[in-house]
Amino acid sequence: MCMKLESFCCCYELKSGAMFVGRLGIVCESIILMGLVLTGLVLANVSCNEIVKVVASYDKSFSLDENITSEKCEAYRTIILIFLVVSIILCIVLFTVDYFLIKGTRKRNHYMILPAVISYPIVGMCLLCYTAYIMTISICGFMLAALSVLWYAYACGCLYSLYVEIRHEKYRRAQYMHAQTFHFSS
């Protein structure tokens, strides 16, 4: 059995913490979604030479002296656009998960909280991999990514504790109702 957290940030109820996590997630995903859409719009209007310069700045094995054909440039553009589309889809999915987290917390429905309980550890593991990659690039980015991993780990613990609490409430209520029905029918 996992350790169950009793409160969020040592002084708030788990319900308040889940509402905060859900709202913060919706705000962050909205900002990220706007950034991804704007990046896609800018990318659609950027020349191939600019794309090559950006790729060369991130990929050290890529040299600007290479003869860049229009096919190769379009291939880079396509790869970046595919990455943007996948990122937008994931952002929309996480937005929906956070919406269900808020709605499930309000209605005390553990089935609506379950998507967040499942997806937050997955996002945390992806951030952990990203943190390992960022560690090779910059220390500031590494610190920010490491703090994000810690935040997701704590949020996972709080959400799981709330999920277990609500599930046990439903189970106890069902047992009580069953006992009352059995008692009255005798």
pLDDT digits 0-9 by tens, 172-181: 877 777 777 6
Higher-pLDDT residue of 21 and 132 is: 21
Q: Which pLDDT score is estimated for 102?
A: 95
4: confidence class by pLDDT, cuts 50, 70, 90: confident
Number of other residues whose CB lies within 10 A of the CB of residue 18 = 26
Phi, psi of 12 (to 5 degrees): -110, 155
Q: Which pLDDT score is estimated for 53?
A: 74
**Using CA atoms, how far apart are residues 72 and 70, in angstroms rounded to an integer?**
5
Q: Which pLDDT score is estimated for 137?
A: 72
Q: How confident is the model over 127-150, as a mean pLDDT?
A: 77
Cα separations in angstroms, 149 against 29, 62, 76, 170: 16, 31, 30, 31
**Using CA atoms, how far apart are residues 105 and 113, in angstroms rounded to an integer?**
7
Burial of 67 (C-beta count, 10 Å sphere; 0-12/13-18/19+): exposed
99: confidence class by pLDDT, cuts 50, 70, 90: very high
